[in-house]
Chain A
């Protein structure tokens, strides 16, 4: 087997200012043989995307420093030594790439047929008529339903999965020898993710392409890759055949990546984190105490939600309006000190439930009884004291903290509004204690959110909620944007805080494994309605509804029931 792509001692740095630069890729070497799928796995900052962008020549020219000794050989030719025009001819024809966000990779003002046809006309010199025939065939090949009408659709008229199919059709239009897929399924729902992965795998077999599949999800790798390369901090940690790396990982970091993700099979009291693996405190074969879950008869309800509805209206015609029911008749009871998990795909209304309970959306009808008061109908002034008792942690820790506030200001603000603590001196003391509680140094008070990593920012967001000592915490996809290893740390923190303060969690996520780990009771939602609700163990062991079963089957690496 000859190597189609060979990366030798690749070193890439980025200029920060005139005098300093940071090294993102530190001497990476790997190869992609013909007709194989190689997975490049790593967390954010591992250099996996930077390496693949370097292959395509897509790194910003003015700030990128590629060390002179680096080589990227494609079919034996060093692409780094090619001129711009030669490189452009190569990329797109011989090497193609698909990206993470299909929505932003397609031009919204052209039809998908035009965009696929453009590739054919430019690279293969086909006439418009031939290009259209070829485009139809390609759309059929990538499994687009009803290609004859979809060819004239605009990207916004397609679903996320269909958009990604269009991107794949564009990539394979010129029959490339190498397809680079940069996190192609990360932005998609679980069930769609599975279809796309299967599509890439079948195309690879049919066309005998080589595929470089970049992902952060080791679970996904087993389904598609022949070989696996694990990267961390710009270095290759482990490389080998997929079965060998996944079954018997040699490097402790690979082991950590594999096992610090919550799984459906076990529920440890604490999730092991990377440090545990590196120090040898955790690993395969080391037994971990399990945590029992589920509701008991002694549990007292803290929040009773009954027939909650929320509709959005869009204007139609001159006076008419069209109703869109985001959630419909959602009823549940949240027990004190317990966690209710809400699972669903995008558009299921799970986030709307959380936002409506916090009155970030106004409920259309229904009630939410808390402390004998209906939170949905309380007047604004009477609601204020309840605001501090029900709090939310958002998905994106980069967006939920005001970038112009120091951490001190962020933590002191809610205490000032709700008059917690006698004066600012006491509040600062409280803030320092809370920061230490969530695992950050007290000196963080004077710094700005952008100086912290994603996991640390999520800790700050958690500390902000804790200042108000809430009874209920809504976690809206709170760990979804975090790397696997950081995710484990934040989940552990949330669990510790629940044990310590007895808070109730409403844990909203698309990730069934994470919900299984956190929740006592699970509610499955689809298109605004509750599909199924049961004790966590019961739901996963014996799913009643077909939709729940399909969700469970779509989890990467799961054994199909």
Chain B
């Protein structure tokens, strides 16, 4: 609805949101992540994350290369010449040609360290974020949109429509979720980010469906909906112009919960081989690699992926929470 006079729900919500400092900070964080995502997607940032710029497991610069250097030097100390080595001459020739980057050219430390292959962790995290955020946000949006639509229809119409959706819901929830995911993955038979979004979205709508349906059952008998019926508003209008703004907080909260869940679910999918294709990095695959590194004491990859995820997820939750409050004209 656009009125010349009334500022409208969203304008007012924005005004209220602006006075909330926490909300604005989290909005800044979320926007920063989205900007990085866009830049990474266009290849302007972190496009060269696969270059092996550091030595294996190069430590973060703020720890200093002292301890690591010693280790590197130890492994790189020239072996005493072996007179019986049949390949000695060939190796010497290769070394002089300069075909392989000599170990000395690789950096001993990087801003936040390097992984097993010497990839810069910062760039890897940015590139990984691109995959994870698209998967998390995309799949959560898809799931919430489907859940809201189905829930609204089932709750509002009731009767046979409700029964049909409930049967559908029961079937979806009676199959163990991992099996369900594998089934959808097997049907789609393609690897890629879009596939994961579809898999998670098509299996994740059940939670929002149940909650939204309950809200619609509660609201459809309220007097303001009866009043809307009395003035001749269509069913569609009653469902989405009248009731939805009053139950949108449920959808928003579900969205923020699902984003977190789906970023994690992508890890499992990748682990099972249904996730992102080989050669694509995500926070999930980073965490997966980090398991083995942690035993060796190389904690930085885990720290980078986990803190990036925690920062985004916290900011996103705070933002949706503030949005919920801002959209409620009764508060403040």
Contacts and interface: CB of A to CB of B under 8 A. Distances in A.
Q: Do A and B bind each other?
A: yes
Interface in B224-279: 224, 226-233, 242, 245-246
Contacts of B222: 399
B3 A394 contact: no
A360 B238 CA distance: 14
Interface in A38-95: none
Contacts of B6: 406-409, 445-446
B85 interface: no
B227 A464 contact: yes
Contacts of B9: 404, 406
A402 B228 contact: yes
A400 B224 contact: yes
Q: Give the interface size bracket for B toward A.
A: 20 to 34
B224 A399 contact: yes
Interface in A81-113: none
Contacts of B226: 355, 360, 392, 394, 400
B4 A413 contact: no
Nearest to A446: B6
Interface string B276-316: 00000000000000000000000000000000000000000
Residue of B7, B223, B227, B246 contacting most chain A CB atoms (<10 Å):
B227
Nearest to B1: A409
A382 to B, nearest CB: 13
Contacts of B7: 406, 446
Contacts of B5: 408, 428, 445-446
Contacts of B102: none
A392 B232 CA distance: 12
Interface residues of A, number: 37
A427 to B, nearest CB: 9
Contacts of A269: none
Given A404-B9, A409-B1, A388 B330 contact: no
A403 B223 contact: no
Interface string A394-428: 11100111111111110011100110000011001
Nearest to B245: A404
Interface of A: 355, 358, 360, 384, 387-388, 391-392, 394-396, 399-409, 412-414, 417-418, 424-425, 428, 445-446, 448, 450, 461, 464, 468
Given A408-B5, A413-B233, 16 more contacts: A391-B230, A392-B227, A399-B224, A403-B329, A404-B327, A406-B6, A409-B6, A412-B3, A417-B233, A428-B5, A446-B6, A446-B7, A448-B329, A448-B330, A450-B330, A464-B231
17 contacts: A360-B229, A384-B232, A391-B231, A395-B223, A400-B223, A403-B329, A404-B9, A406-B3, A406-B7, A408-B5, A412-B1, A413-B233, A418-B232, A425-B4, A428-B4, A446-B5, A450-B329
Interface of B: 1, 3-9, 222-224, 226-233, 242, 245-246, 327, 329-330
